[in-house]
């Protein structure tokens, strides 16, 4: 099979490792981490790339997205000529951890917990994650406005997620064994200590990235968006996203 991959560049190391192992032909395109600062602009960029792939001469079996919801940047993306495949993830935290279950274990009680990883921290200006409310809506969240846009149940989840207090005393380092680099943990630990924080190591996994490039997409982990459908947000910790016809 042949795939087009559109991915955030924070996953460059993990994608590179999995590209070496996949039996399929994959044409990757990476977008800079900084594009997440403006989710609307990132959505337009990704849709433009999807449209360009659809208009091109190369026939693909699917367009793969190395993203989660990512501040709603993938919300409303439409599959054109080829299906879209996207992991069921709120953001790259889940992609680095390797599963929704790991995300729930470490982040369900505090989705805004500050974290770092080798791939995330080497890209862009920020070493540590910044789960600010602006990544979701571009402004301070208003519950009534969220209800108007997303419905009462979804709005409540989003509002509670955005208003969780950071654990200011620690930074979690997501350690992916396959892309581990000597000295990185110590360097980031020194930066955390300089801010009065403790760096704590938690296990990461390439499982979701490897599965994305494998062509085997179990429904529990990936959403396959058929042509003439778009991505819709669910905003829970299990389904996360679904496809709807347009």
Element (H, E) at 141: none
CA gap 118, 195 in Å, rounded: 19
Q: Is the pTM of this model over 0.75?
A: yes
User: What's the pLDDT tens digit per position in 123-166?
Assistant: 988 899 865 433 444 444 567 766 776 667 666 666 666 555 55
Collapsed DSSP state (helix, strand, coil) of residue 19: helix
Residue 52 neighbours by CB under 8 Å, 6+ apart: none
User: What's the pLDDT tens digit per position in 199-226?
Assistant: 999 999 999 999 999 999 999 999 999 9
Q: Quote the tokens at residue 77.
A: 């993306």
CA gap 124, 22 in Å, rounded: 28
CA gap 231, 176 in Å, rounded: 28
């Amino acid at each position: 099979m042949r795939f087009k991959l559109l991915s955030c560049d924070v996953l460059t190391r993990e994608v590179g490792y999995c590209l070496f192992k996949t039996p399929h032909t994959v044409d990757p395109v990476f977008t800079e981490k900084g594009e997440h600062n403006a989710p609307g602009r990132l959505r337009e960029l990704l849709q433009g790339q999807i449209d360009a792939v659809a208009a091109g001469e190369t026939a693909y079996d699917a367009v793969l997205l190395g993203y989660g919801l990512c501040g709603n940047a993938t919300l409303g993306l439409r599959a054109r000529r080829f299906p879209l495949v996207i992991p069921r993830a709120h953001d790259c935290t889940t992609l680095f951890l390797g599963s929704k279950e790991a995300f729930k274990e470490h982040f369900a009680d505090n989705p805004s917990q500050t974290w770092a990883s080798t791939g995330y921290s080497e890209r862009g200006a920020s070493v540590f994650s910044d789960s600010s409310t602006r990544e979701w809506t571009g402004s301070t969240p208003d519950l009534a406005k969220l209800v108007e846009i997303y419905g009462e149940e979804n709005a409540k989840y989003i509002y509670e997620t955005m208003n969780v207090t950071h654990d200011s005393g620690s930074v979690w380092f997501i350690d992916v064994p396959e892309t581990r680099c000597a000295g990185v943990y110590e360097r980031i630990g020194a930066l955390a200590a300089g801010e009065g924080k403790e760096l704590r190591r938690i296990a990461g996994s390439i499982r979701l990235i490897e599965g994305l490039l494998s062509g085997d997409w179990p429904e529990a982990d990936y959403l396959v968006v058929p042509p003439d459908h778009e991505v819709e947000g669910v905003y829970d910790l299990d389904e996360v996203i679904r496809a709807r016809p347009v």
